[in-house]
């Protein structure tokens, strides 16, 4: 129970940019896991599934990069 409360307290102390960065990182992980699940499949839909997985990973990676840049800008502004 204490661990759960500590996690909630830590989450409430994170900035919106930090939370968004973590969310985007988790989304990218999920997309990579989903793509890896498609790799061993051998079906007529396989090629399209691989293309779709690649597109989703590209979007998730781009979103994570944007979130990281936003977080960097926020931290830089806080230092000034």
Task: Report CA torsion sign: 62, 66, 72, 76.
Answer: positive
For 42-79, write each residue's pLDDT tens digit: 888 889 999 999 999 999 999 999 999 999 999 999 99
28: tokens are: 């990218």
| Residue 71 near residue 17 (C-beta atoms within 8 A) | yes
| Residue 33 near residue 26 (C-beta atoms within 8 A) | no
17: tokens are: 């940019």
Model's pTM, two decimal places? 0.78
For 5-46, write each residue's pLDDT tens digit: 566 655 568 999 999 999 999 999 999 999 999 999 888 888
């Amino acid at each position: 129970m204490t661990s759960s409360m500590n996690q909630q307290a830590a989450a409430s102390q994170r900035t919106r940019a930090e939370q968004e960065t973590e969310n985007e990182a988790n989304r990218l992980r999920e997309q990579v896991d989903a793509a890896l699940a498609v790799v061993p499949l051998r079906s007529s839909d396989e090629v399209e599934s691989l293309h779709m997985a690649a597109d989703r990973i590209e979007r998730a990676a781009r979103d994570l990069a944007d979130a990281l840049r936003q977080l960097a800008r926020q931290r830089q502004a806080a230092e000034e």
